[in-house]
Amino acid sequence: MHDVLRQRLMRHIEALPEAQIYQALDYIEFLASKYAREEVRAPSSPLQRFGERLEDRMRGQGVAFGAIRGTLSVLGTADKVFNGIAEAGRTLVREVEQGVKTVSATGAPELPPAAPTDHRNP
């Protein structure tokens, strides 16, 4: 899908009331099940998958849209936090790996001389 079409769709979706957005989602999922040329991508994180299943259950039970929005807003924030933590962990691992590669390529690092210690009693 090209960017102009993506932006056009988003403008129309954002202009709809929440109930009709869910109707549009249902219709899109129906069309995808019937005509999709490729498999619909699964959500990228476990928390996103959980959120989508929870949203579907809440809608099925007739929970108010405001409650659904609030619940999923919290889940979205939690997902962003967990993704940030995961990215920080990946960055740390990359930096440690790079440091290990540098040390192994150049040999053992030269340590600075130890500071003299004073063994006199005060």
Cα distance between residue 95 and residue 92, in whole Å: 5
22-31 burial code (b ≥16 CB/10 A, e <16): eeeeeeeeee
116 pLDDT tier (thresholds 50, 70, 90): low
Residue 79's identity, in one-letter code, is D
What digits encode the pLDDT tens for the residues 72-112? 888 888 888 888 898 898 888 888 888 777 767 666 555 56
| Domain ranges across the chain | 10-41, 44-103
What digits encode the pLDDT tens for the residues 28-80? 999 999 998 888 777 778 888 888 888 889 888 888 888 888 888 888 888 88
Per-residue pLDDT at 7: 93
Give the predicted TM-score (pTM) of the model.
Answer: 0.54
Contact 43, 33 (CB under 8 A): no
Per-residue pLDDT at 119: 63
Cα distance between residue 63 and residue 49, in whole Å: 19
69-104 burial code (b ≥16 CB/10 A, e <16): eeebeebeeebeeeeeeeeeeeeeeeeeeeeeeeee
